[in-house]
Chain A
Amino acid sequence: SQQGEEDPQALSIQEGENATMNCSYKTSINNLQWYRQNSGRGLVHLILIRSNEREKHSGRLRVTLDTSKKSSSLLITASRAADTASYFCATDSGSRLTFGEGTQLTVNP
């Protein structure tokens, strides 16, 4: 297993449903960051959650962090077709980010 493994690899849902993506990691972290990437584009920063935080919200996004289980989840509520993208978690050790393999989310209209 690699740092920042994500689950599931692919997720297909209907518009209006919630989408949950999970991320597990192995080493200690300063913070964990979630990113979104549309096909052929750069990454858009979504949320940063620090190692001493357990939950964070931003609009329709909710991120949790469980450092005892070394895992994080990203919840997108009331999904829209425009949310279709790849989502990556990245663990920050202080000197670098290490990315997971990503979850491809497809939201069907």
Chain B
Amino acid sequence: GAVVSQHPSRVICKSGTSVKIECRSLDFQATTMFWYRQFPKKSLMLMATSNEGSKATYEQGVEKDKFLINHASLTLSTLTVTSAHPEDSSFYICSAREPKQGAQHFGDGTRLSIL
């Protein structure tokens, strides 16, 4: 079964809306979670590293005020796309790192479509 749950799986909304995506680690406590963006037929691009109890670390070129990340507990990280515009439409995927083995497990992704 899934070890990382991501919700919602699909969002369609109007330009200017803020959208929150949740990522939950089900089988283990994750001090570190990651958020990725994937364009069609492309690989995953790391957006930010979410650290429990502290500020997220953003990759170069990713606007932290645009993509707000909160990692309030060891099993939940959220990504909020603020004032979303059509260019923010994409597939967003989260992952959580297993503490012992180090493997990263991914959610099923969220397809975000901004009209």
Contact = CB atoms under 8 A, between A and B. Distances in A.
Task: Tell me whether chain B's interface is mostly helix, strand or loop, or mixed.
Answer: strand
| Interface residue tally on B, bucketed by range | 20 to 34
Interface stretch (B43-51, B65-73, B75-83): B43-51
A26 to B, nearest CB: 16
Interface string B34-72: 100000001110100100000000000000000000000
Contacts of A92: 102, 104
Contact of A102 (B4, B43, B49, B93): B43
A59 interface: no
Interface string A77-102: 00000000000101010011111111
Interface string A16-60: 000000000000001101010000111111001000000000000
Interface of B: 4, 6, 34, 42-44, 46, 49, 91, 93, 95, 101-109, 111
Give the 8 A-B residue pairs with the shortest CB-CB distance, closest first.
A43-B106, A42-B108, A42-B106, A42-B109, A99-B43, A99-B44, A48-B103, A101-B43
